[in-house]
């Protein structure tokens, strides 16, 4: 163990409906047992992790660890990117990103070759294997100057589901998304007319749902881009056209298995940059679960290749897939 490595753990105590904060003693014990030298800071309000992470990039830390869910990862990534931009650096200089899975869905961890348990995540930090990490950037809505994202953005149906799930105070995890989906099915808003373009492709149609992914999964169980890699310099598109309730329900079942590619109402594609326009408005958008807008007209989405580095278990998901395939 390199005793000169110093880590900063940014713990969001309200992540996982407050369960993350209860795990602070366990986090400290596990990291001390593995000989990791670290400081720990608790976030106090939304956006606080951005401030902590940005300041920590100039304080000599080797790894900045987001301890929470996807929202915590998002804030830490935005803080690290703010520090990088302040240095006017185009490379992934500065500390690496680490993650402790103590939130709800932990979708970013799955797509970033990170385990889903705290003990395993601490072991990954101790082994200190790293690779580049692409970071997404979305401009538009409430963020005309841009907001970074780590896992992906959603437009339409899945954003509304997330907003409905967030209203549930005593239900969390997959069940919250199920209830949110049921509420969204009852409302079932009209699909906005959109124009989406990437590289040499332009599509104009009504669309109930669009995902642009850096990672593989959203909502804890929906594999919107099962083949995405967050270190290949591109984002993956999954776009559904206008559908009725029955068609949407059937498609959601496909999302849980990642088998939607090839469906007649689904269009996929990959690029480093996408433009989404809705002349009549109606774009309801989230990035890593954080609301970007509720009636947007224009969005620009870009991939920043290798913007950060991440401590992870390279090849974890690929090896798990291979093991499942050989077993069948």
DSSP per-residue codes, 290-311:
EEEEEEESEEEEEEEEEEEEEE
At how many degrees (to 10) do helices 157-166 and 174-187 cross?
120
Q: Same CATH fold, 137-305 and 7-129+312-327? A: no
* pLDDT band (50, 70, 90) for residue 167: confident
- Residue 199 has, within 13 A of its CA and on its CB side, a CA count of 8
Q: What percent of the chain has pLDDT over 70?
A: 92
Q: What is the pLDDT of residue 89?
A: 62
Interval 131-147: pLDDT, tens:
999 999 999 999 999 99
Q: How far is CA 220 from CA 111, 151, 254, in A?
A: 11, 12, 14
Domain boundaries, the chain: 7-129+312-327, 137-305
Q: Tell me how far apart the alpha carbons of residues 8 and 27 are, in angstroms, rounded to a whole number.
A: 12
Q: How far is CA 115 from CA 99, 109, 110, 122, 314, in A?
A: 10, 7, 7, 10, 11
Least confident of 21-30, 161-170, 180-189, 222-231: 161-170
Q: Tell me how far apart the alpha carbons of residues 291 and 102 are, in angstroms, rounded to a whole number.
A: 22
Q: What secondary structure, in 3-state letters, does 26-63 show?
A: HHHHHHHHCCCCEEEEECCCCCHHHHHHHHHCCCCCCE
Q: How far is CA 285 from CA 27, 97, 212, 213, in A?
A: 34, 25, 11, 13
Interval 274-312: pLDDT, tens:
999 999 999 999 999 899 999 999 999 999 999 999 999
* pLDDT band (50, 70, 90) for residue 8: very high
Interval 147-162: pLDDT, tens:
999 999 999 887 887 7
The average pLDDT across 40-56 equals 96
Interval 237-247: pLDDT, tens:
999 999 898 89
CA R_g for the chain? 19
Q: For residues 70 and 105, is the Cβ–Cβ distance under 8 A?
A: yes
Q: Tell me how far apart the alpha carbons of residues 119 and 117 are, in angstroms, rounded to a whole number.
A: 6
The pTM of this model reads: 0.90
The 10 Å Cβ neighbour count of residue 318 is: 11
Q: What is the pLDDT of residue 105?
A: 73
Interval 100-113: pLDDT, tens:
999 877 899 999 99
The average pLDDT across 190-195 equals 92
As a CATH number, domain 137-305 is 2.60.200.40
Q: Is pLDDT at 90 greater than 60 in this prediction?
A: no
| Chain position carrying tokens 């599509």 | 203
The residue among 90 and 136 whose pLDDT is bigger is: 136
Q: Tell me how far apart the alpha carbons of residues 18 and 104 are, in angstroms, rounded to a whole number.
A: 10
| Chain position carrying tokens 């919250």 | 176
Q: For residues 192 and 298, is the Cβ–Cβ distance under 8 A?
A: no
Q: Tell me how far apart the alpha carbons of residues 196 and 205 are, in angstroms, rounded to a whole number.
A: 9
Q: 7-129+312-327 belongs to which homologous superfamily?
A: Probable inorganic polyphosphate/atp-NAD kinase; domain 1 (3.40.50.10330)
For residue 132, what are the contacts with CB-CB under 8 A and spacing of at least 6? Answer: 92, 231, 305, 306, 308, 309, 310
Q: What is the pLDDT of residue 1?
A: 46
């Amino acid at each position: 163990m390199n005793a000169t490595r110093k880590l900063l753990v940014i713990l969001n105590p309200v992540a996982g409906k407050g369960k993350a904060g209860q795990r602070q003693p366990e986090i400290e014990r596990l990291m001390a047992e593995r000989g990791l030298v670290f400081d720990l800071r608790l976030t106090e309000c939304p956006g606080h992790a951005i401030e902590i992470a940005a300041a920590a990039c100039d304080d000599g830390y080797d790894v900045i660890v987001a301890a929470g869910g996807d929202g915590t990862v998002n804030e830490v990534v935005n803080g690290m990117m703010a520090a990088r931009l302040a240095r006017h650096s185009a490379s992934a200089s500065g500390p690496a990103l680490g993650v402790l899975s103590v939130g709800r869905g932990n979708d970013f961890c799955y797509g970033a070759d990170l385990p889903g348990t705290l003990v395993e995540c601490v072991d990954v930090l101790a082994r200190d294997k790293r690779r580049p990490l692409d970071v997404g950037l979305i401009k538009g809505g409430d963020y005309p100057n841009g907001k970074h994202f780590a896992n992906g953005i959603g437009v339409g149906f899945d954003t509304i589901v997330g907003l409905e799930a967030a209203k549930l105070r005593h239900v969390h995890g997959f069940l919250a998304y199920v209830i949110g989906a049921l509420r969204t099915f009852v409302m079932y808003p009209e699909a906005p007319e959109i124009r989406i373009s990437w590289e040499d492709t332009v599509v104009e149609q009504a669309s109930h749902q669009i995902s642009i992914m850096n990672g593989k999964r959203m909502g804890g169980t929906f594999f919107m881009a099962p083949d995405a890699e967050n270190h290949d310099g591109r984002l993956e598109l999954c776009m559904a056209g206008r559908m009725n309730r029955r068609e949407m329900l059937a498609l959601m079942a496909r999302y849980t298995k990642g088998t939607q590619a090839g469906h007649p109402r689904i269009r996929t594609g990959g690029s480093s940059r996408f433009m989404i326009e809705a002349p009549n408005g109606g774009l309801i958008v989230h990035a890593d679960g954080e609301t970007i807008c509720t009636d947007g007209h224009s969005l620009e989405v870009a991939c920043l290749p290798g913007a950060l580095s991440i401590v992870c278990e390279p090849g974890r998901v690929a090896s798990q897939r291979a093991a499942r395939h050989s077993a069948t």
